[in-house]
Structure 1
Amino acid sequence: MVKPSIKAVMNNNYKQIVKVAHSNIAFVKYWGKRGRQYPLNPSVSMLIDQCQTKTQCSYQISDQLQVESFQFEGKEQFDFGKRIEQYLESISEVYPLAKRLRLRFESENNFPHSAGIASSASGFAAIANILAEIEWLENNVRLSREQISTLARLGSGSACRSISKAPFNLWGKTKFDLGTDDYSLDLDEKKYSFSEKLADTILVVNQSQKDVSSSFGHSLMNTHFYRESRIEQAHENTRCLLNAIEADNFTDFGEIIENEALSLHAMMMTSMPSYTLLHANTLRVIEKLKDSREKGEIMAYFTLDAGPNIHLIYPESQKDQVKSFVSEFCLDLCEKIIWAPHFGES
């Protein structure tokens, strides 16, 4: 990858595309992978409308692939630009046009990156959408949602779940003949939805970049002592979670997502080498939430991604109770609060 000269920017004819993609939060966690970004276990997720990555791409057809520049929030990111170039090289069998693209990217998030809020998911989902648009502009071919999801998966596994048009999304083949490892599946909204829409408030305990990347964490599952039992647990929790959604049983749903969140972090803490991404304030908020729920003051459950930050999941009728809980217990324990509605809400 090379820095673009001002002369090149001024004199060459580049077409521009802008795409926005959303982060997602997994309720059943994907942890561990095999082959070309295939999951060890199925996962179920929901889009987060308020957490977005906006990526602008300037491109032209060339005789060879080259990512000339990748800027994130105004700063050149040479390592990530190289990663995008390697990604494009790796997908040339399924996306031949990749070998003939000269590209420049400018990207930004409206939420903290590398802090456990699935920024790589929205980032690669935006890039996959850009590639689909280029395919349409240059070859007059419309890629399907499944094809775009596959392209996103090859960049970052969880990114395939950010190519979605439904409230709930499944990635990975289950033991009850639903789902595929190749791309995410939009779950039938008529069958898999709650009578009351869910909301997600993100309690950002720490905005700093994680000490341990998710990619490294995934690799530790290859030799993890609890690998097989974790895979079995995820399959069972997927079945139970979908049953809870279908039955409109938010309590069962909540208990499963909390179990999944803690299981994810237990895998980190029992890997070799072991590590933890939870912070003291993460645990303080969790204990406060459980206490308030036991007292009947709130009906909300937590989940966590691979980081210290907490997602409060609740029916939208609980919004006032959640605001009171956050105001009373969380403001001094968190660096930022993101009020993120359910998919499709504004």
Structure 2
Amino acid sequence: MTEKDLIPSAYTNQVDKGSFEWSAPSNIALVKYWGKKANQIPANPSISFTLNNCKTITKLAYERKEDTNGISFDLLFEGQPKESFRPKIEKFFERVAGYLPFLEEYHFTIDTHNTFPHSSGIASSASGMAALAMNLMSLERELNPAMTDEHFYKKASFLARLGSGSACRSINGSVVVWGLHAEVEGSSDLFGVPFTGDVHEVFRNYKDTILLVDKGEKQVSSTVGHDLMHGHPYAERRFAQAHDNLSAIKKALTEGDVSAFIGIVESEALTLHAMMMTSMPYFILMKPNTLEIINHIWKFRQDTGIPVCFTLDAGANVHVLYPESVAVEVLGFINAELLVYCQNNQYICDEVGTGALSLY
């Protein structure tokens, strides 16, 4: 499928007003996407767990308008106008307008909220853009009822990517690959695809407890961070490493090799931060308490043999990953030893989920 395949021909139906509502989850990358080309194309492939509890729920109401001079919308966050969000939505609409020619024909009301606190330090752009893309595709399917499910979900992932790169991994679950990879059938730089392998049962109900070390704004935006990979002295080797690690984690996920999974996931997390520390300008996104948590996890795993590990996004918070079979022991460890390093002792319990869900 190419970008041209995602540009619709004339619609066969007409609708004047209505609404849709979708939830879409956040996701956590196991092999990290870091660095991008033009038009939100990833510099390397990535693979993620789709989460279950950390979601954005978005209702999209639409009504045909008389004029077609530009895109118009109202935006509500948790029931209140949120002007600070408008620029990102406006940019998103500009990027997708060529693929959704109906946009200028309607006035939209976007009413959105998260199931997790917006100030929690959990990235909401992936879930937010994914939920909005699902709503827009629901309207396009009203205009073109013959649309197949395959086209619906691929185009939704494509659109979400234009809003926030990792959002394309929040459409389907539970394991999603984004970016062209020689060993993943159907993989594409344009959209995320469900992992084609048979995921071993140990990973099907994997847990992710998110330790909120720092709930403040990011020290550096994702866009700026990705741009720092241009001309980075280690960029090309990093991109090759991501391909190798995706091959290795693909094998671990199908064989149930938790030990190999742990090694890849933790190395990927530290590599992401190493790339930021060796860029120009350079950034240290971890906090002292991030390192304390990592060291405690390593000691706990060594002392007990319990297969718990960590990963990180481009920030200070720690995702603690572990099989469902050891949840009691790991949660006991978190409460006894790690909460002291969390801001206001806060953490979020999540697990592998199944992707976006229609609520209408």
After TM superposition, give the deviation of residue 39 of structure 1 in Å: 0.3
> Which residue is 1:148 aligned to?
156
CA displacement, residues 103-136 of structure 1 (integer Å, 9 cap, x when unaligned): 1222111224476633110000001001011112
Cα distance in 2 for partners of 1:221, 1:172 equals 17
> Which residue is 1:247 aligned to?
255
- 1:282–1:310 Cα contact (<8 Å) kept: yes
Cα distance in 2 for partners of 1:230, 1:245 equals 22
CA displacement, residues 263-312 of structure 1 (integer Å, 9 cap, x when unaligned): 00111111111112211111101100000101125320100111111111
Cα distance in 2 for partners of 1:106, 1:84 equals 12
Aligned mate of 2:277, from 269, 272, 278? 269
- 2:121–2:215 Cα contact (<8 Å) kept: no
Map residues 71-220 of structure 1 onto 2, 5 A cutoff.
Answer: 71-113=76-118, 117-142=122-147, 143-164=151-172, 166-176=173-183, 178=185, 179-188=187-196, 191-195=198-202, 197-220=205-228
After TM superposition, give the deviation of residue 225 of structure 1 in Å: 1.3
Cα distance in 1 for partners of 2:300, 2:220 equals 32
After TM superposition, give the deviation of residue 202 of structure 1 in Å: 0.9
After TM superposition, give the deviation of residue 74 of structure 1 in Å: 4.1
TM-score, normalised via structure 1 length: 0.90
Cα distance in 1 for partners of 2:353, 2:76 equals 28
Using CA pairs below 8 Å that are at least 6 residues apart, which structure has the higher relative contact order? Answer: 2
Cα distance in 2 for partners of 1:44, 1:314 equals 17
Counterpart secondary structure, 1:212: coil
**Which moves more between the two structures, 331-340 or 77-86?**
77-86
CA displacement, residues 30-56 of structure 1 (integer Å, 9 cap, x when unaligned): 001101111000000011101010112
Cα distance in 1 for partners of 2:118, 2:246 equals 27
Cα distance in 1 for partners of 2:271, 2:200 equals 25
> Which residue is 1:55 aligned to?
58
Cα 1:114–1:227, aligned 2, differ >3 Å: closer, same or farther?
farther
Cα distance in 2 for partners of 1:327, 1:130 equals 39
> Which residue is 1:337 aligned to?
347
- 2:276–2:282 Cα contact (<8 Å) kept: yes
RMSD: 2.0
After TM superposition, give the deviation of residue 344 of structure 1 in Å: 4.9
After TM superposition, give the deviation of residue 77 of structure 1 in Å: 2.8
Cα distance in 2 for partners of 1:99, 1:193 equals 46
**Residue 131 of structure 2 aligns to which amino acid in structure 1?**
A
> Which residue is 1:68 aligned to?
73
> Which residue is 2:8 aligned to?
none
Counterpart secondary structure, 1:91: helix
Cα distance in 2 for partners of 1:269, 1:73 equals 36
Cα 1:158–1:186, aligned 2, differ >3 Å: closer, same or farther?
same
> Which residue is 1:305 aligned to?
313
> Which residue is 1:258 aligned to?
266
- 2:28–2:50 Cα contact (<8 Å) kept: yes
After TM superposition, give the deviation of residue 17 of structure 1 in Å: 2.1
**Residue 38 of structure 1 aligns to which amino acid in structure 2?**
I
- 1:171–1:183 Cα contact (<8 Å) kept: yes
Q: Which runs of 5+ in 2 are unaligned?
A: 1-15, 356-360
**Residue 343 of structure 1 aligns to which amino acid in structure 2?**
G
Cα distance in 2 for partners of 1:297, 1:177 equals 32
Cα distance in 1 for partners of 2:97, 2:182 equals 32
After TM superposition, give the deviation of residue 101 of structure 1 in Å: 2.7
TM-score, normalised via structure 2 length: 0.87
Cα 1:182–1:222, aligned 2, differ >3 Å: closer, same or farther?
same
Aligned mate of 1:26, from 4, 25, 29? 29
**Residue 168 of structure 1 aligns to which amino acid in structure 2?**
V
Count of residues paired in the alignment: 331
